[in-house]
Structure 1
Amino acid sequence: MPTAIIDGRCLSYEDTGGDGPAVILGHGFLLDGSVFEHQMAALSPQWRVIAWDARGHGGTPDAEVPYTYWDHARDALAVMDHLGIEQAVVGGVSQGGFTALRTALLAPERVQGLILSDTEATACHPADKEGYGQMFAALREHGPIDDLVVQLSRQILGEHPAADEWRERWRHRSLPLGQAANCLLERDDVSGRLAEITCPALLLWGSEDQSLPRDRMELLADRLPGATPVHVIKGAAHTPMLTHAEAANRVLVDFLSAVPVRVTR
């Protein structure tokens, strides 16, 4: 995979290339940019799709010092700079959505639209923080044993063949249980600033998502001035763009076709 050097750090990404309007996509926790393989295939060459690996995931190493999703947002902007992309539709699933929101707050002039799937603007809910903290502690102690990763894969991917594939990946790679996990658990609340984000925003949510209740997506619908209603992807868990790509892609194409964009590089 190509890499960009950001402040001396390697950041991994995939890029379909081409002259179409750019779409930058960020994955959820424990996954990587490969979850967008179906979007990269379906959207190009009409759109130039870039899927990048966040710190501690895929081909991007974790950092030794603490960081936040604001730093992830700066990473996304740095990838755009590296590729010579001035403006893009920015989006992601779960933590990729946390990052996209902060990217729009940091550099609204560079974000032409948002794609927000199974994500939220608030801090980690206390119950979620406790549950995830216990899960991460168990993974640190016992490693990716079936008792842990089967439950985790079903939560993230549902009853889909991709869950088997990702369990196998987790067994053979380093899990992001250091600073990346702290970033997830300690994230700040940006819900009070959503009115500042005025670009069009597509909202997607899997009907079987056990990680993120629908009301957190409805908060985005209520407070983002340019938001669509929440599009429910029936049967999907926490990562619809991977497990229910055909349904998600139909909505994505309709949204992207309506976003007023300028190709500026």
Structure 2
Amino acid sequence: MTEVMKTIDISHLGGSKVGYRFGKPYDPSLPTLIMNNSFTTSVELFRPQFADSKLMKVANLLAIEPYGHGKTYPEYRQFTYWDSAIANLQVLDALGIAEAFALGTSQGGWIVAQTAMLAPDRIKGIIPLGTSMDSESQLSRKLGCWNGIEFCTPAIDALAEPVADDWTVPDEFVVGVLDAGLGDTVTAEDRAFWLDEYRRNYKGDAGRERLRISSINLRDRDSLHARVGSVTCPVLWIHGTADAVYSVANAQDGIRRFSQSADAQLKIVDGGQHFLSASDPQHVNPATVEFINRWR
């Protein structure tokens, strides 16, 4: 049975509470797999991984919520994706875990790459899913990716002013994220679940501010193209052909930049959506099991 959601204290950003969940009680005989969720979602994105007995047998599944997401709150009010990568490592420290694999969906993909850059001696391999290693650049759009500036800017502008305590995230924001992430695989039940989850996580003025900074981070992130050559661990990038946000051509361009990786592979999932861990676990989970068994 999946462990309950918890928070843990770390020192980063003036002191932070970080939301995390294990798939089952920690087993020191198994390797650990960090899992970072996609834009404005939570550890609930990884329900299909927590439900997979084969995956649970090969690793301790440790979902960690980035800054601005779920139950993760810093004392300081500004943060970037690099801060979430640092938080990954400090959570491992706090839990007494020396090393780990790391899987990340969409924004989680570049967070796990950043984590591997920061601590190459601790990250044994990374699995980026439906992601990009670029900023919202001209090259990205030339390769067939979405225009993240056009997607994020209206929300950033709309969230600029303080709101009352009874404010909750607009439904249209949630629906827009789900449509981009899950496409035609999102069910009415999924939509209702995520609407409730978002309303819990983004309410009142603090919720508005977290949502705005998370949107700014997505739109204004730095490119990792010049940095990923420092990643030395194995990389398995999994990408779907139906990804509405980042293209297969962009993934092909991105994977070749891991020039110093022990082994950098791109796996294409026919019909796979953007939030691959949620939409296509039947492809992601077995590939993850194989990757961990190969490189543990």
TM-score with structure 1 setting the length: 0.88
Q: How well do the aligned residues superpose, as a CA RMSD in angstroms?
A: 2.2
Q: Does 1:156 align with 2:199?
A: no
Q: Quote the Cα distance in structure 2 between the aligned partners of 1:72 and 1:107.
A: 13
Give the one of 14, 21, 36 matched to 2:21.
14
Residues 158 and 236 of structure 1 are in contact (CA less than 8 Å); yes or no, is this contact kept in structure 2? no
Segment of structure 1 superposing worse, 49-58 or 33-42: 33-42
Residues 58 and 292 of structure 2 are in contact (CA less than 8 Å); yes or no, is this contact kept in structure 1? no
Matched residue, 1:202: 236
For 1:10, give the aligned amino acid: K
Residues 28 and 94 of structure 1 are in contact (CA less than 8 Å); yes or no, is this contact kept in structure 2? yes
Report % sequence identity: 27
- After superposition, give the CA deviation of every residue in 1:39-97 in whole Å (9 maximum; x if it has no partner): 23321232111001111211123665322211111100001101111111112011111
Deviation at 1:129, TM superposition (A): 1.9
Give the one of 19, 24, 33 matched to 1:23.
33
Give the one of 193, 197, 214 matched to 1:165.
193
Q: Does 1:188 align with 2:222?
A: yes
Deviation at 1:144, TM superposition (A): 4.2
Matched residue, 2:272: 236
Matched residue, 2:50: 40
Deviation at 1:172, TM superposition (A): 4.6
SS at match of 2:71: coil
Deviation at 1:148, TM superposition (A): 4.1
Q: Quote the Cα distance in structure 1 between the aligned partners of 2:191 and 2:137.
A: 25
Deviation at 1:171, TM superposition (A): 4.0
Alignment of 1:141-152 (within 5 A): 144-152=169-177
Distance 1:234 1:66, change over 3 A: same
Matched residue, 2:120: 108
Q: Quote the Cα distance in structure 2 between the aligned partners of 1:65 and 1:39.
A: 31
Residues 129 and 238 of structure 2 are in contact (CA less than 8 Å); yes or no, is this contact kept in structure 1? yes
- Count, aligned residues: 260
Deviation at 1:256, TM superposition (A): 1.4
Q: Does 1:246 align with 2:274?
A: no
TM-score with structure 2 setting the length: 0.80
Residues 41 and 198 of structure 2 are in contact (CA less than 8 Å); yes or no, is this contact kept in structure 1? no
Q: Quote the Cα distance in structure 1 between the aligned partners of 2:122 and 2:159.
A: 38
Q: Quote the Cα distance in structure 2 between the aligned partners of 1:155 and 1:163.
A: 13
Q: Which runs of 5+ in 1 are unaligned?
A: none
Q: Quote the Cα distance in structure 1 between the aligned partners of 2:255 and 2:170.
A: 38
Q: Quote the Cα distance in structure 2 between the aligned partners of 1:178 and 1:146.
A: 15
Matched residue, 2:254: 220
Give the one of 3, 9, 13 matched to 2:7.
3
Matched residue, 2:85: 73
